[in-house]
Structure 1
Amino acid sequence: MALPHYSNEPSYLLPPNSKDWEGQGIPDFVYGQKDLVVEGIQWLRKAPGILDTLPLSRFDSALCSAWRQRVELGLFRYCLGDLQTRTLPGAVGFVAQLNVERGVQRRRPQNIKSVRQAFDPEQFNFNKIRPGEVLFRLHREPDLPSALQQEDILVVINVSPLELGHVLLVPEPARGLPQRLLPGVLRAGVEAVLLSLHPGFRVGFNSLGGLASVNHLHLHGYYLSHRLPVEGAPSEPLDPESHLHLVRALPAPGFLFYTSGPGPDLEALISKVCRATDYLTDHEIAHNLFVTRGAPPGKTSPSSALTGVRVILWARKSSFGMKEGEAFNVALCELAGHLPVKTSQDFSSLTEAAAVALIQDCLLPPAQAEEVQAALVALMSQEEQ
């Protein structure tokens, strides 16, 4: 993917060098109701495999121009470039990308032993990053009322990026929050997706045990100019009132939450998702979460219109640390169908069947999966009462 380029880039987001940055405050990106876009977002193609030019938002411009400038400052661990990308033959539609440098250069995961592990200020955390790694602060205008606590969200580069534009959304680092999802942080993630006019800007969360490598609360956000299976995968209600839906399709079954846009619908989604992740965390069940523009629940298809935002939640086996010798590690993007592959050999030889087997090996045993499903259905029903 080519990082979008803009004229009229906001110069206040572009300190000329890292020394100058250290003497400045963090710039605010202020947004309101008018910046959150639901309708009219779609994939445009001139011909198979060729993306049409997409209109991009003020948020896209701010993020991409500041991100590009950090590349010029040399703040990343490696130069990403244009990644080799191919869609694996088969029914799923996996998007595989060769990202050798990330497999070699990324920071080793922290020593995590529990989904509920406390924050440790002695370990690496986002209070220890270089000042230039912060792009800006997300700030909501008063015209976006919410009953949730207002979070001060920093948008920070991921120095070992998956893709161009890869950032972290970090709430008030000084609070020392462990990697456990909070409502205000999830709201920021969903609103970030709504702030982008690019259908391929996604946000996600890895729990401890779900391959989160840093125990300091953060979400991932990045651009990928390819459709993913979870955007339009069909789903079915798990209870008569349709409080919770399940996507059964490959690559992995997941719980589906959907919002048509800002307002009470979005607030209800946030409450439901966080009740579900609280249950999983309290019961030591690792999980991954993916936020993407997508189709409403029901009998949809990969080509369905992107009419709202889908949040997909997967409960999975705990996995602490990186697994060596496998084509990819299974976390939020792999469960959604995006496979960053570590070696050229695996990239050229990987098949859909092999990818599915790797992913399904990380899922809960059937009996435990059924138990979790029943518990979440009961939780969602209580929420509506």
Structure 2
Amino acid sequence: MAISQGSNETSYLLPPNKEDWEGRGIPDFVYGQQELLWEGVQWPEYAPSRPDALPGPGSRFDSALCSAWRQRMDLGLFRYCLGELQTQTLPGAVGFVAQLNVERGVQRRAPQSIGSMRQAFDPKQFNFTKIRPGEVLFRLRRKPDLPGALRQEDILVMINVSPLEWGHVLLVPEPALGLPQRLLPGALRAGLEAVLLSSHPGFRVGFNSLGGLASVNHLHLHGYYLAHRLPVERAPSERLDPGGHLHLLQAVPAPGFLFYTGGPEPDLEALISRVCRATDYLTDHEIAHNLFVTRGAPPGKTSPSSALTGVRVILWARKSSFKRKESEAFNVALCELAGHLSVKTSQDFGSLTEAASLALIQDCLLPPAQAEEVQAALVALASQKEP
């Protein structure tokens, strides 16, 4: 399947013969400002289980990602074949979306040995320069005239071979640079703009820090489709700083720091700067964190309608954990904090309750005194004038 790019046609699919993959160059997905969808994206009356089954045409980005991702699944490049996942919304006030994904729990790559938030990149460990060529879908590139002072690295969009959900990809900035898993402005911009390039309301992007269940110490973000609304899209919030740049998200699985933008430059660049100042503080102080990017309502509003009017970035500070707890029903990382639970066993899926889920999540959060200290520091950073 070829995806149209203006007057040219670029194929994001592999040739049928595996021996031809090595010689195939990585296609470029080049986008401009007009493709960033700030308005008009909303949930349909019903949400189909597959992103390629949404009513109406998807965006050019969705078409490129979904067609190439589906082909890699058909070619057997994943560790398992992801079918339609059994899904339920847990009864209760939060509205957890739980999915049974047994094979991810069993077959995903073992996490690397990591002992510090500031651990250096180790080229001897697994990293994204060692993947098979067919795992790369395309290179994400901004047009040179797209506004924004930040330099944008080339971002490789590649499959996650142990997918969490349909369309699960990794966004990896210039893998050959060997960047450790510490959020950088260019990487965050790519994640935000990927969300804005999608016309699917359930395409989300996230980041796990070292100690926040990142399993590979090589800079990457996650992107995936989930055809369900999540609590963080519309949860109310409390303003924390006089300028209204930082809010505390309430009535969700875990209190998180909310950053929001409803429009393009300069607001987008200011948001990126504020978020990265916050994640730099957390990393420098050895505080693990998870980050989630989703379309949603402005701060303080609950958006009862299906309309999604801007982009929410939620940041959670948490206890450091350098080892997954395989005995738990689910591991707590970016999607679980947002209300999407990837459950490992049929037994846990059948018996899981909202109370048990909240207890697992609460156990990963900072103790109250440290949480207050972090909040005060991030409020002070948010109140700083932009350079």
Please indicate, yes or no, whether the TM-score normalized by the shorter chain is above 0.5: yes
**Deviations along 1:292-349, whole A, 9 cap, x unmatched?**
0001101324546310100000000001121121000000000000000000000011
- Distance in 1 separating the partners of 2:350 and 2:228: 19
- 1:16 aligns to what? 15
1:138-287 superposed matches below 5 A: 138-287=140-289
The answer to whether the 8 A contact 2:2-2:12 is kept is no
CA distance 1:7–1:27, change in 2 (3 Å): closer
- Distance in 2 separating the partners of 1:243 and 1:220: 25
- Distance in 1 separating the partners of 2:56 and 2:347: 34
The answer to whether the 8 A contact 1:211-1:331 is kept is yes
State the TM-score, normalized to the length of structure 1: 0.95
> What is the aligned residue count?
381
- Distance in 2 separating the partners of 1:189 and 1:8: 23
How far residue 358 of structure 1 moved from its aligned partner, in angstroms, is: 0.4
- 1:56 aligns to what? 58
The answer to whether the 8 A contact 2:234-2:296 is kept is yes
- 2:385 aligns to what? 383
1:132 aligns with 2:131: no
- Distance in 2 separating the partners of 1:365 and 1:281: 18
1:67-106 superposed matches below 5 A: 67-106=69-108
CA distance 1:155–1:48, change in 2 (3 Å): closer
CA distance 1:384–1:148, change in 2 (3 Å): closer
SS in 2 for 1:374: helix
The answer to whether the 8 A contact 1:234-1:301 is kept is no
How far residue 263 of structure 1 moved from its aligned partner, in angstroms, is: 1.1
How far residue 143 of structure 1 moved from its aligned partner, in angstroms, is: 2.7
1:360 partner amino acid: Q
Pick aligned residue for 2:326 from 324, 327, 332:
324
- 2:358 aligns to what? 356
The answer to whether the 8 A contact 1:272-1:383 is kept is no
**Deviations along 1:110-160, whole A, 9 cap, x unmatched?**
001111111000000000000000000001112312211220100000000
How far residue 242 of structure 1 moved from its aligned partner, in angstroms, is: 1.5
SS in 2 for 1:288: strand
After superposition, the CA RMSD in angstroms is 2.0
**Deviations along 1:163-193, whole A, 9 cap, x unmatched?**
0100000000010000000000000000000
- Distance in 2 separating the partners of 1:296 and 1:287: 23
Q: For structure 1, list consecutive stretches of 5 or more residues without a partner in the other structure.
A: none
- Distance in 1 separating the partners of 2:152 and 2:54: 37
SS in 1 for 2:21: helix
SS in 2 for 1:383: coil
SS in 2 for 1:210: coil
- Distance in 2 separating the partners of 1:38 and 1:257: 16
2:66 partner amino acid: C
- 1:343 aligns to what? 345
SS in 2 for 1:145: coil
Answer with 235-244 or 174-183: which moved more: 235-244
The answer to whether the 8 A contact 1:55-1:198 is kept is no
1:31 aligns with 2:43: no
**Deviations along 1:323-379, whole A, 9 cap, x unmatched?**
121000000000000000000000011000100110011000000000000000001
**Deviations along 1:61-91, whole A, 9 cap, x unmatched?**
0000000111121100001100000000011
How far residue 48 of structure 1 moved from its aligned partner, in angstroms, is: 11
The answer to whether the 8 A contact 1:205-1:288 is kept is yes
Query: Kindly, what percent of the aligned residue pairs are identical?
Result: 82
How far residue 52 of structure 1 moved from its aligned partner, in angstroms, is: 6.0
How far residue 380 of structure 1 moved from its aligned partner, in angstroms, is: 1.0
**Deviations along 1:193-215, whole A, 9 cap, x unmatched?**
00000000000000000000000
CA distance 1:70–1:102, change in 2 (3 Å): same
The answer to whether the 8 A contact 1:233-1:302 is kept is no
Answer with 365-374 or 51-60: which moved more: 51-60
- Distance in 2 separating the partners of 1:160 and 1:27: 23
SS in 1 for 2:112: coil
